[in-house]
Structure 1
Amino acid sequence: MEITINQIEKPIINYKKLNKDYILFQLNCTMKFIPKSLLNRLVQENPQILAVSYKKSKEGIWIYLLTDINNSIDVYELRAKLEKMGAQFSQLQKVDFNILKTDAILNILLCLLSSFNIVKGSNILGRLYINSSLTAQKQLTLNEVEFSKELNLQVHSRQFTKIALFKTRKDRRGDLSKFSKGGLGKSARYKIDVKHNSISQISGCYQEGENDDLYLQHPLVKNGKGSLTKFWRSDANFSRLESSIVGIEYSILNKMNEKFSEYLSKLAFKTIEVETLKDPMGQPAHRKELEASIRDIFKDKTIYIKNMTENDEKVEELLKIFSDTTQIFPATKKYKHQPESLKVKLFSPKMQNKNVPTLVLIHDIDWYDHNKKEDQYLKYKGDIVQHIAVENLNGKEVPVLLLNAVKELVIKEMLNTQSTLGWEKMVDVSNFSFYKYYPDQEVTLQYISHGDTFEIRELHPFEDIDPYRKFGLVSGNINAVECIIKDHQNGTFFEVKATDLRTIPNKNYYEALEEGRKVGRGEANLEKYLSGMVNINYYMRNQSIYYNVGEIGKGMNKTLSRASVIRKIHPINSTQATISSIDLEQLLKSMSMTWVRFKHYTVLPYPIKLLNEYYLSNIK
Structure 2
Amino acid sequence: MTVSDFAQVETSIILNLLLIQLQVFSTVKGCNLLGKLYFNTNTEESEKLKFEEVSFSKNLVINIQTRAFTQISFYQKHQAQELIKNMKSWGRSPRYEINLQESKIKQVANCYHEGEENDWYLKHPTIKNLKPDQTPFFLLNGKVGQARTSFLTSKSGIAYYLIDQLNKHYSQYFDELKFREVQAESHDQGISQKKRGDNLLKQIQKFWQDKEITLLDRTQENSSAIKTISDFFEQNYPLKITSSQKSSHYNLVLIHDLDYYAKEDNKDKTDAYYSSQTEVVQNMTVEGVMHKSGTVVKSALVNAVKELTIKAILESEDFSSLNTEINLDDFIFYKYYPESNQTLEFTSHETNFKIQPITSNYDDPFFLNDLLIKRNDRLTTDVEYILLDKQSENYYAVSKTTLKPLPAPSLYEAATNQKGTLAYRGKDARNKYLAGLINLNYFYQHDQLFYNVGMIGNGMQNKEPVASVIRKIECLNNKNLSQLLNVQQLLQSMDVVWVRFKNLTVSPFPIKLMNEYIRKNQNNEKR
Q: TM-score scaled to structure 2, two decimals?
A: 0.89
Corresponding residue number in structure 2 for 1:193: 99
Name the CA distance, whole Å, in 2 between partners of 1:302 and 1:156.
46
What do the CA deviations read for 1:548-583 (whole angstroms, capped 9, x no partner)? 1110032564311111111100012227636636x2
Determine helix, strand or coil for the equivalent of 2:411.
helix
The verdict on how the C-alpha distance between 1:414 and 1:365 changes in structure 2, with shifts beyond 3 A counting, is same
Whether 1:122 aligns to 2:21 is no
Corresponding residue number in structure 1 for 2:242: 345
The verdict on how the C-alpha distance between 1:128 and 1:550 changes in structure 2, with shifts beyond 3 A counting, is same
Name the CA distance, whole Å, in 1 between partners of 2:216 and 2:461.
34
- Amino acid aligned to 1:564: S
Aligned counterpart in structure 1 of residue 157 of structure 2, from 240, 247, 272: 247
Determine helix, strand or coil for the equivalent of 1:269.
coil
Determine helix, strand or coil for the equivalent of 1:255.
helix
Determine helix, strand or coil for the equivalent of 2:443.
strand
Aligned counterpart in structure 2 of residue 440 of structure 1, from 329, 333, 339: 339
The Cα of 1:464 is off from its aligned counterpart by 6.6
Unaligned runs of 5+ in 1: 1-14, 20-94, 329-340
The Cα of 1:434 is off from its aligned counterpart by 1.1
Name the CA distance, whole Å, in 1 between partners of 2:139 and 2:75.
31
Corresponding residue number in structure 2 for 1:493: 395
Corresponding residue number in structure 2 for 1:315: 226
- Bigger Cα displacement from structure 2, 458-467 vs 270-279: 458-467
The verdict on how the C-alpha distance between 1:208 and 1:362 changes in structure 2, with shifts beyond 3 A counting, is farther
Corresponding residue number in structure 1 for 2:518: 615
Whether 1:542 aligns to 2:461 is no
Corresponding residue number in structure 2 for 1:376: 271
Q: Is the 8 A contact 1:276 1:537 kept in 2?
A: yes
The verdict on how the C-alpha distance between 1:500 and 1:161 changes in structure 2, with shifts beyond 3 A counting, is same
Aligned counterpart in structure 2 of residue 462 of structure 1, from 361, 374, 377: 361
Alignment of 1:66-85 (within 5 A): none
Corresponding residue number in structure 2 for 1:409: 308
The Cα of 1:241 is off from its aligned counterpart by 0.9
The verdict on how the C-alpha distance between 1:530 and 1:493 changes in structure 2, with shifts beyond 3 A counting, is same
Name the CA distance, whole Å, in 2 between partners of 1:579 and 1:597.
32
Name the CA distance, whole Å, in 2 between partners of 1:503 and 1:241.
16
Alignment of 1:516-527 (within 5 A): 516=418, 518-527=422-431
The Cα of 1:272 is off from its aligned counterpart by 0.5
Q: TM-score scaled to structure 1, two decimals?
A: 0.76
- Amino acid aligned to 1:228: Q
Alignment of 1:92-131 (within 5 A): 96-131=5-40
Corresponding residue number in structure 2 for 1:569: 473
Q: Is the 8 A contact 1:161 1:219 kept in 2?
A: yes
The verdict on how the C-alpha distance between 1:150 and 1:595 changes in structure 2, with shifts beyond 3 A counting, is same
Corresponding residue number in structure 2 for 1:503: 405
Name the CA distance, whole Å, in 2 between partners of 1:409 and 1:578.
42
Q: Is the 8 A contact 2:317 2:352 kept in 1?
A: yes
The Cα of 1:211 is off from its aligned counterpart by 4.2
Name the CA distance, whole Å, in 1 between partners of 2:464 and 2:114.
42
Name the CA distance, whole Å, in 1 between partners of 2:31 and 2:67.
14
Whether 1:232 aligns to 2:138 is yes
Aligned counterpart in structure 2 of residue 138 of structure 1, from 21, 33, 47: 47
The verdict on how the C-alpha distance between 1:573 and 1:373 changes in structure 2, with shifts beyond 3 A counting, is farther
The Cα of 1:316 is off from its aligned counterpart by 1.5
What do the CA deviations read for 1:428-469 (whole angstroms, capped 9, x no partner)? 222111111111111111111122111111122136754654
The verdict on how the C-alpha distance between 1:318 and 1:154 changes in structure 2, with shifts beyond 3 A counting, is same
Determine helix, strand or coil for the equivalent of 2:356.
strand
- Amino acid aligned to 1:323: E
Whether 1:450 aligns to 2:349 is yes
Name the CA distance, whole Å, in 2 between partners of 1:377 and 1:215.
39
Corresponding residue number in structure 2 for 1:593: 496
Name the CA distance, whole Å, in 1 between partners of 2:93 and 2:473.
37
The Cα of 1:344 is off from its aligned counterpart by 1.4
Determine helix, strand or coil for the equivalent of 1:426.
coil
The verdict on how the C-alpha distance between 1:469 and 1:425 changes in structure 2, with shifts beyond 3 A counting, is closer
What do the CA deviations read for 1:296-315 (whole angstroms, capped 9, x no partner)? 01111222211122222211
Alignment of 1:6-25 (within 5 A): none
- Bigger Cα displacement from structure 2, 147-156 vs 285-294: 147-156
The verdict on how the C-alpha distance between 1:125 and 1:478 changes in structure 2, with shifts beyond 3 A counting, is same
Q: Considering only CA atoms, is the larger Rg found in Structure 1 or Structure 2?
A: 1
The verdict on how the C-alpha distance between 1:146 and 1:579 changes in structure 2, with shifts beyond 3 A counting, is farther
Aligned counterpart in structure 2 of residue 283 of structure 1, from 173, 187, 193: 193
- Bigger Cα displacement from structure 2, 136-145 vs 555-564: 555-564
**Percent of pairs identical after alignment?**
34
Unaligned runs of 5+ in 2: none
The verdict on how the C-alpha distance between 1:584 and 1:221 changes in structure 2, with shifts beyond 3 A counting, is same
What do the CA deviations read for 1:319-378 (whole angstroms, capped 9, x no partner)? 1111112xx5xxxxxxxxxxxx212111232x3xx422x111112211111132456254
Name the CA distance, whole Å, in 2 between partners of 1:610 and 1:116.
53
- Bigger Cα displacement from structure 2, 597-606 vs 420-429: 420-429
- Amino acid aligned to 2:348: S
Corresponding residue number in structure 2 for 1:257: 167
- Amino acid aligned to 2:398: V
Name the CA distance, whole Å, in 2 between partners of 1:168 and 1:292.
51
The verdict on how the C-alpha distance between 1:168 and 1:295 changes in structure 2, with shifts beyond 3 A counting, is farther
Q: Is the 8 A contact 1:152 1:500 kept in 2?
A: yes
Corresponding residue number in structure 2 for 1:336: none
The Cα of 1:141 is off from its aligned counterpart by 1.4
Name the CA distance, whole Å, in 1 between partners of 2:502 and 2:449.
26
Name the CA distance, whole Å, in 1 between partners of 2:386 and 2:87.
42
Q: Is the 8 A contact 1:161 1:216 kept in 2?
A: yes
Q: Is the 8 A contact 1:435 1:447 kept in 2?
A: yes
Number of residues paired by the alignment? Answer: 506
Q: Is the 8 A contact 2:407 2:435 kept in 1?
A: yes
The verdict on how the C-alpha distance between 1:223 and 1:460 changes in structure 2, with shifts beyond 3 A counting, is farther
What do the CA deviations read for 1:78-97 (whole angstroms, capped 9, x no partner)? xxxxxxxxxxxxxxxxx842
- Amino acid aligned to 1:259: H
Determine helix, strand or coil for the equivalent of 2:513.
helix
CA RMSD in angstroms comes to 2.6
Aligned counterpart in structure 1 of residue 259 of structure 2, from 341, 366, 369: 366
The verdict on how the C-alpha distance between 1:186 and 1:530 changes in structure 2, with shifts beyond 3 A counting, is same
- Amino acid aligned to 1:535: N
Corresponding residue number in structure 2 for 1:426: 325
Name the CA distance, whole Å, in 1 between partners of 2:387 and 2:269.
41
The Cα of 1:110 is off from its aligned counterpart by 0.4
What do the CA deviations read for 1:96-135 (whole angstroms, capped 9, x no partner)? 4222111111110000112221232211122000111143
- Amino acid aligned to 1:592: D
Determine helix, strand or coil for the equivalent of 2:151.
helix
Q: Is the 8 A contact 2:429 2:460 kept in 1?
A: no
Corresponding residue number in structure 2 for 1:355: 249
Name the CA distance, whole Å, in 2 between partners of 1:168 and 1:448.
56
What do the CA deviations read for 1:492-535 (whole angstroms, capped 9, x no partner)? 22111111111011111111222225233433222222110101
The verdict on how the C-alpha distance between 1:559 and 1:355 changes in structure 2, with shifts beyond 3 A counting, is same
The verdict on how the C-alpha distance between 1:221 and 1:176 changes in structure 2, with shifts beyond 3 A counting, is closer
Alignment of 1:142-181 (within 5 A): 142-167=51-76, 174-181=81-88
Name the CA distance, whole Å, in 2 between partners of 1:607 and 1:194.
49
Q: Is the 8 A contact 1:275 1:538 kept in 2?
A: yes
The verdict on how the C-alpha distance between 1:441 and 1:374 changes in structure 2, with shifts beyond 3 A counting, is farther
Aligned counterpart in structure 2 of residue 387 of structure 1, from 275, 280, 283: 283
The Cα of 1:214 is off from its aligned counterpart by 3.3
